[in-house]
Structure 1
Amino acid sequence: MTNIPTDRQYSAEHEWVRIADGTATVGVTQYAADALGDVVYLELPEVGSAVVAGQACGEIESTKSVSELFAPVTGTVSSVNEDATQAPEVVNSDPYGAGWLFTVTVEAEGPLMDAEAYTALTQG
C-alpha cells in the first residue's frame, strides 16, 4: 500500500484536500489513481465556479472508465492545474504533488478523515 501523506485530509470518494489560510488544494489519492488506471483526460471545475462538498464537480477519464470528481469542501474555485489538464498522466505519477487538480476558497468543509482513518478505509 502506498504511503498516505499525513499533512492533508481525505474524503470517502478518494479525494485529498490540504487547507492553508482558507484555501484548499484538492487532488485524488494514489489509491484512486491506481484504481482508475492510466488517466487520459481531466474535466475540472472552472475558476470562479461554486463547488459543494460531496457533490460532483468534474470528471477523470482513464483508459478503463470515467469517474466523477467530488468536491471535498464547499467554496469558490480559485485556480485549476492547467499543467495537469495538458498532461493528465501526472495524476498517476505524482497525485500528491504535481498532480493536484484545483484550489478552492473554503466556505465549509465536507466530511473529511485523517490519514489514519483513510488508510483504514482503503485497507478494510
Structure 2
Amino acid sequence: MFEYPTDLKYADSHEYVRVEDGVATVGITAFAIDQLGDIVFLDLPEVGTSFGKGDTFGTVESVKAVEDVYAPVTGEVVAVNEALVDEPEQMGTDPYGSAWLIKIKLDAIAELEQMMSAPEYSAKVSGS
C-alpha cells in the first residue's frame, strides 16, 4: 500500500501537484513509479516552456516502458529538477519530496478543483 500525501492534488494520469504561492510542483506518484519499475531516463522541458492542462511535457523511460508525462495544470515551467535528470533512478526514493519533475507557474488555479484528493486517488489505484 502506498501513501498519498493529503496536501497534494492528483491527476488521472498519475501526476501530482503541490501548490505554494501560485507555483505548482509536479511529479509522478509512488504508484506510477512502482508500475514503471527501474527508471533509467527522463526527458523534461526547458524553463520558460508553456503547457496547457493535459499536454505532454516529457517522458519517463524505465526498463519496462517509455511513458509520457502530462501537465496536470496550465502554465509556464519555472524550474526543472536537473538533479533528477542526471540521476533518474532516484525517482523512487522520495517521489513527493526531492523527486519532483517540474515547477509550473499556474495560469488557472481553478483547474486544481478538477483534480483528485488523496483518498480519491487512493481508491482509484487500489480498485475500490
TM range (shorter): over 0.9
Structure 2-normalised TM-score? 0.94
Structure with bigger strand share is 1
Task: Give RMSD over aligned pairs.
Answer: 0.9
Describe the SS at the equivalent of 1:4. Answer: coil
Rounded to whole Å, the distance in 1 between the matches of 2:85 and 2:74 is 22
Q: Deviations over 1:26-45 (max 9, x none)?
A: 00000000000001111111
Describe the SS at the equivalent of 1:89. Answer: helix
Aligned position for 1:25:
25
Tell me the CA shift for residue 70 of structure 1.
0.3
Aligned position for 2:44:
44
Amino acid at match of 1:114: S
1:112 paired residue among 105, 110, 115: 115
Residue correspondences, number: 124
Unpaired stretches in structure 2, ≥5 consecutive residues = none
Amino acid at match of 2:81: N
Unpaired stretches in structure 1, ≥5 consecutive residues = none
Structure 1-normalised TM-score? 0.97
Amino acid at match of 2:6: T
Tell me the CA shift for residue 54 of structure 1.
1.2
